[in-house]
Structure 1
Amino acid sequence: MLDNIRFKILNTIEHLCMLCVEQMYKLPSTSPSMILNGQNYEWNNKIDDKDRRNFTQYIYVLSTIHRLVRTQSRMNIRELFYSQVNLFRHQRVSDNIIEQIARHLCVDRRQLGFVATAKGFCAGNIQYRNLRSGDIIDCNQLSNGQLIVDDDVEIIETEHRISFILVVEKDTVFQHLLNNGFLIRYRNACLITGRGQPDHATRSFLQQLSRLYNDTPIYILTDCDIFGVLIACTYQSSLNENYRNRIRWLGVWPEELISLSSLTISQTLPITDERERRMINRFIQRSDINDEWRRQVSFFEQHQRKMEIEAIYENGTKSLIDDYLHAKLMGHR
Structure 2
Amino acid sequence: MNSEFSTTFWFKLYGLVQADADFYNQSVQSDITREEILSRIEDVVVEIVYQISNETPPFVQYRNRQNWGNVNYDPIVGLKMHEEPTFTTVSFGHGSSVTKFGLTLKLLSMIYKLLQSGQVATKRDLYYEEPNLFSSQTVVDQIVDDISCMLNVPRRWLNVVATSKGLVAGNLSFLDPDGQLVDCSLSQSGVVIPVLVDNIHNIKTKNAKFILVVEKDATFQRLIDQDFLASMPCIMVTAKGVPDVNTRIMIRKIWDHLQIPVLGLMDPDPHGIEIMCVYRFGSLSQSHDVESLALPFMKWIGVFPSDITRLRLPEDVTLPLNEKDKSKCQDILTRPYIAYHT
TM-score exceeds 0.5: yes
Q: Which residue does 2:135 correspond to in 1?
A: 89
Q: Deviations over 1:6-40 (max 9, x none)?
A: 1233345457668878999x9xxx79847789x99
- Asked whether the 8 Å contact 2:173–2:184 carries over to 1, the reply is yes
The counterpart of 1:221, out of the listed 240, 243, 265, is: 265
1:252 positional shift: 1.6
More off after superposition, 249-258 vs 114-123? 249-258
- Asked whether the 8 Å contact 1:155–1:208 carries over to 2, the reply is no
The counterpart of 2:159, out of the listed 113, 129, 132, is: 113
1:280 aligns to 2:326 (yes or no): no
- CA distance in 1: counterparts of 2:214 and 2:323, whole angstroms: 26
Whichever residue aligns with residue 268 of structure 1, its letter is T
Q: Which residue does 1:9 correspond to in 2?
A: 37
In structure 2, the CA distance between the partners of 1:240 and 1:79, relative to structure 1 (3 Å rule), is closer
Higher radius of gyration, 1 or 2: 1
Per the alignment, in what secondary structure is the counterpart of residue 255 of structure 1?
helix
- CA distance in 2: counterparts of 1:60 and 1:177, whole angstroms: 46
1:104 aligns to 2:150 (yes or no): yes
- CA distance in 2: counterparts of 1:70 and 1:247, whole angstroms: 38
Higher relative contact order (CA 8 A, sep 6+): 2
The counterpart of 1:257, out of the listed 300, 308, 328, is: 308
- CA distance in 2: counterparts of 1:146 and 1:15, whole angstroms: 41
- Asked whether the 8 Å contact 1:127–1:155 carries over to 2, the reply is no
Q: Deviations over 1:178-221 (max 9, x none)?
A: 122111222x311100111211111111112222222x222211
Per the alignment, in what secondary structure is the counterpart of residue 161 of structure 1?
coil
Whichever residue aligns with residue 256 of structure 1, its letter is D
1:78 positional shift: 2.2
- CA distance in 1: counterparts of 2:254 and 2:172, whole angstroms: 9
In structure 2, the CA distance between the partners of 1:133 and 1:255, relative to structure 1 (3 Å rule), is same
Whichever residue aligns with residue 277 of structure 1, its letter is K
- Asked whether the 8 Å contact 1:222–1:232 carries over to 2, the reply is yes
The counterpart of 2:319, out of the listed 269, 277, 286, is: 269
Per the alignment, in what secondary structure is the counterpart of residue 220 of structure 1?
strand
Q: Which residue does 2:237 correspond to in 1?
A: 192
Per the alignment, in what secondary structure is the counterpart of residue 144 of structure 1?
coil
- CA distance in 1: counterparts of 2:279 and 2:51, whole angstroms: 47
- Asked whether the 8 Å contact 1:237–1:244 carries over to 2, the reply is yes
1:123 aligns to 2:169 (yes or no): yes
List aligned pairs for 1:181-330, cutoff 5 A.
Answer: 181-186=227-232, 188-214=233-259, 216-238=260-282, 247-262=298-313, 267-271=317-321, 273-284=322-333, 288-289=337-338
TM-score (norm 2): 0.68
1:149 aligns to 2:177 (yes or no): no
In structure 2, the CA distance between the partners of 1:159 and 1:13, relative to structure 1 (3 Å rule), is closer
1:140 positional shift: 1.1
Whichever residue aligns with residue 253 of structure 2, its letter is Q
Whichever residue aligns with residue 231 of structure 2, its letter is R
Number of residue pairs matched? 280
- CA distance in 2: counterparts of 1:122 and 1:198, whole angstroms: 13
Whichever residue aligns with residue 81 of structure 1, its letter is Y
Q: Deviations over 1:84-137 (max 9, x none)?
A: 21101122322232223222322221111111221111001111122x422221
Q: Which residue does 2:76 correspond to in 1?
A: none
Give the RMSD, CA atoms, in angstroms. 4.0
The counterpart of 2:182, out of the listed 137, 150, 158, is: 137
Identity, in percent, stands at: 30
TM-score (norm 1): 0.69
In structure 2, the CA distance between the partners of 1:192 and 1:65, relative to structure 1 (3 Å rule), is same
Q: Deviations over 1:261-300 (max 9, x none)?
A: 45x69711111x2121133244456563499x97xxxxxx
1:253 positional shift: 1.8
Any gaps of 5 or more consecutive residues in structure 2? 1-29, 63-87, 283-289
